[in-house]
């Protein structure tokens, strides 16, 4: 006799005898929307298309397989079916009635599959209970800590006093730092004012001379009554002075005003060579050289 397989919720169960398949249909485990197939079939069929599986009174019974081929049970009236069931205990009707009278056996693979899915729901319930227990534990711990703080107010007062002392120390430190910052700002303002006054003086002298610079001339200048004169000004000593000279492309300062002054120039510092109000060239002076404001300066002191 050919056996049957059923496909329920994308899971295959079987093989079952035709009588067992009928039992599953009568018990409601196998519904018309599920699919079944005989072991010699290649494709699945809807269960409601199998004759005699869900409507025994109007359709044929579940087909059985014999050595000669597939046979179908003819439809019978309810009375004739009752007599047939009485004479043949192995028929599917007798098996179906026994199945309805008796509870579903534990060897049903479909029931076992559904019972295996129940522990997942139990696991979720366990997680919920565990989360509730954790929340209760945290709440109880918070109440316990709060009660300790309430019964020991001196500790809270001491901590507040320490915080107040730290705040006062920060305020005193800020008060001490403020005067120093004000002094530094005042010194910067005085320096800027002094540099501004020097720049104004230089600008006045430049307005008197109004002489155009010839950048291509040699740095050595001939002065009446003297052989040669070099007047060098460093950016560190006369920053405003040099900026004015670069901006206007000329320098209106008489060379005699710088006569007698000596400047120490670091190595590689850019300086301006001045003579009788002419800004001649930007040069670099070697380290440690003292350049006088008047008189002859050897050439090795000035590198063009």
CA–CA dist 41, 50 (Å, integer): 13
Which of the 8 DSSP states describes residue 28?
A: T
Read off the pLDDT of residues 165-219 as tens digits, 9 standing for 90 and up.
Answer: 788 888 887 777 777 888 888 888 888 887 777 767 766 655 554 433 333 333 3
**Domain-wise residue ranges, the chain:** 4-105, 208-303
Q: What is the CA radius of gyration of the chain?
A: 57
Beta bridge partner(s), residue 165: none
Which of the 8 DSSP states describes residue 49?
A: G
Which of the 8 DSSP states describes residue 69?
A: -
Angle in degrees, 0-180, between the axes of helices 153-209 and 109-151, rounded to the nearest 10: 80
DSSP-based three-state secondary structure for 71: strand
Asked if residue 254 has pLDDT above 50, the reply is no
Token pair recorded at residue 79: 């009375």
The mean-pLDDT minimum among 77-91, 163-177, 217-231 falls in: 217-231
Q: Any idea which residue has 């901590």 for tokens?
A: 159
Angle in degrees, 0-180, between the axes of helices 239-248 and 153-209, rounded to the nearest 10: 50
């Amino acid at each position: 006799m050919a056996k049957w397989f059923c496909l329920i919720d994308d899971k295959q169960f079987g093989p079952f005898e035709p009588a067992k398949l009928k039992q599953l249909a009568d018990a409601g485990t196998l519904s018309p929307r599920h699919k079944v197939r005989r072991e010699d079939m290649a494709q699945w069929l809807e269960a409601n298309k199998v004759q005699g599986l869900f409507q025994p009174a109007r359709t044929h019974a579940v087909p059985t397989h014999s050595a000669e081929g597939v046979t179908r049970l003819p439809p019978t009236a309810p009375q004739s079916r009752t007599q047939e069931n009485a004479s043949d205990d192995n028929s599917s009707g007798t098996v179906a009635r026994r199945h309805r009278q008796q509870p579903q056996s534990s060897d049903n693979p479909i029931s076992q599959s559904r019972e295996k899915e129940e522990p997942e729901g139990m696991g979720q319930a366990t997680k919920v209970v565990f989360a509730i227990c954790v929340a209760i534990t945290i709440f109880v711990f918070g109440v316990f800590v709060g009660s300790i703080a309430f019964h020991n107010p001196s500790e809270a007062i001491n901590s507040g006093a320490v915080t107040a002392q730290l705040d006062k120390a920060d305020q005193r430190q800020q008060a001490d730092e403020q005067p120093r910052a004000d002094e530094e700002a005042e010194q910067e303002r005085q320096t800027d004012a002094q540099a501004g006054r020097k720049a104004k003086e230089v600008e006045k002298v430049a307005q008197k001379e109004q002489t155009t610079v010839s950048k291509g001339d040699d740095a050595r200048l001939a002065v009446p009554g003297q052989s040669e004169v070099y007047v060098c000004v460093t950016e560190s000593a006369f920053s405003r002075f040099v900026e004015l000279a670069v901006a206007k492309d000329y320098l209106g300062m008489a060379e005699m005003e710088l006569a007698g002054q000596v400047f120490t120039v670091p190595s590689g510092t850019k300086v301006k060579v001045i003579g009788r109000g002419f800004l001649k060239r930007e040069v670099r002076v070697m380290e440690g050289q003292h350049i006088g404001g008047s008189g002859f300066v050897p050439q090795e002191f000035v590198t063009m």
